[in-house]
């Protein structure tokens, strides 16, 4: 699926010389972990450039803060009797919170500069 995504990006952005993709370090995103990614980049690495986030980087990856808040408010020490009950609580929490304010000094500086 990831290689299909890279191919889609390469085709959609064909007018650009390079397409830069920011990834986490999931095995299926890396050339060390995925033979398919390695093969794809051997063929198209002149146009597709992968950049990896640090292994755990809540300061640089805002979604980490959302997961932290979700864990603190819902999934830690829950009293749910079934996975469906937990899923319903989680989905309700996500719906109630809608869009999220990006937290972190890095993003505040970027917003101020804009």
Distance of CA 39 to the CA centre of its chain: 23
Measured N-to-C along each axis, helices 2-12 and 35-44 cross at an angle, to the nearest 10 degrees, of 20
pLDDT in tens, 47-104: 999 888 777 766 666 777 788 888 888 888 888 899 889 988 888 888 887 666 555 5
pLDDT in tens, 51-61: 887 777 666 66
Cα 7 from Cα 14, distance rounded (Å): 10
Task: Please report which confidence band the pLDDT of residue 107 belongs to, taking 50, 70 and 90 as the band edges.
Answer: very low
Query: For residue 31, what pLDDT is reported?
Result: 75
Domain residues of the chain, as ranges? 2-52, 63-113
The beta strands (E) that lie in 24-90 are given as 48-52
Query: For residue 77, what pLDDT is reported?
Result: 81
């Amino acid at each position: 699926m990831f290689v299909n995504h890279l191919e889609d990006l390469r085709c959609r952005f064909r007018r650009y010389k390079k397409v830069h993709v920011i990834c986490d370090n999931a095995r299926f995103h890396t050339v060390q972990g995925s033979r398919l990614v390695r093969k794809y980049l051997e063929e198209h690495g002149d146009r597709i450039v992968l950049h990896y986030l640090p292994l755990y980087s809540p300061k640089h990856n805002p979604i980490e803060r959302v997961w932290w808040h979700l864990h603190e408010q819902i999934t830690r020490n829950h009293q749910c009797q079934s996975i469906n009950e937990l899923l319903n609580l989680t989905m309700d929490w996500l719906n109630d919170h809608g869009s999220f304010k990006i937290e972190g000094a890095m993003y505040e500086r970027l917003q101020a500069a804009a």
